[in-house]
Amino acid sequence: MSATIIDGAHVADTILADAREQAAEFERKAGRRACLATVLVGDDPASHTYVRMKTNRCRTTGLDSRSHHVAATATTTDVTTLVDELSGDDSVDGILVQHPMPAQIDEREVFEAITPTKDVDGVTMASFAAMALGGRGFQACTPAGIIHLLDAYGVDPTGLHSVVVGRSPILGKPVGMLLLARNATVTYCHARTSDLPGIIAAADIVVAAVGRPELIKGAWIKPGAVVIDAGYNPGNIGDVEYAPAAERASLITPVPGGVGPTTIAVLLHQTVTAAVQSAGVPTTGV
């Protein structure tokens, strides 16, 4: 068996095409563009690159982007004060706080300073509760992007054993909640899980979200399983041992080019949705 490679860029283009259409309609009706504000703390090169990618994608999708760079020596209060200001700015529709942040910053306190109506990255506790309970709110972007990938390739999680390797509050935990909402049977695994190979071997869907290069070996993958690798490590290496896993899986995401593109696409689409909801200017499809 040789897996079909999931084309994340193609799925992202579909999401962005809809966002672009809605953004243009919003601009015509509201007289301004939807606006995403980004907050970057420190000088991490990867974070700078990621924010630059988002800024460029905003431009090509018809959104305004405002970048705020805070010194690496900033305090939690410095960052939360900025986020509070953006939360109260009516010209800002969505707020993205790039993470990870420097060690002295309390990330959770910063995230909670984002008003939920502008939490287009889905990082607040209010957003997590909405994902877990099926309420109104924005979804964490990478988990939502993963669901888009499954939908695009006709994977119905109903009744399938889905194993999530990783339990971060912005990836592992919420993707499990979204899969559970689609009637999957979800197992969470982490650093203290016993017999990880055996659990993965029984999985119909594997979501790797632990941030450890090639932790999940190809030989562990159940023949015909769907493998979603949300890990990204130096050297363009994912959390899954790609080549041998691709020999056993039915569908697999590459790294890069799988999950990443849909993450950004969901972020921009949710920014347009936030603008529409805030301004009360309905557009087709949002």
Sign of CA dihedral 9, 15, 16, 21: positive
The residue assigned the tokens 């363009």 is: 236
54 is catalytic: yes
121 is catalytic: yes
The residue assigned the tokens 């993965």 is: 200
**Residue 44 to residue 235: CA distance in whole angstroms:** 17
The residue annotated as part of the active site, out of 98, 118, 173, 270, is 98
Q: Which residues fall within 8 angstroms of residue 165, CB to CB, at 6 or more apart? A: 172, 189, 190, 196, 200, 206, 207, 208, 209, 210, 215, 216, 239
SS3 252: strand
The residue annotated as part of the active site, out of 121, 204, 229, 239, is 121
Sign of CA dihedral 58, 130, 163, 155: negative
98 is catalytic: yes
How wide is the angle at C-alpha 32 spanned by C-alphas 30 and 33, nearest 5°? 110
**Residue 110 to residue 80: CA distance in whole angstroms:** 5
What's the number of CA atoms in the CB half-sphere (13 Å) around residue 47?
19
The residues that are catalytic are 54, 98, 121
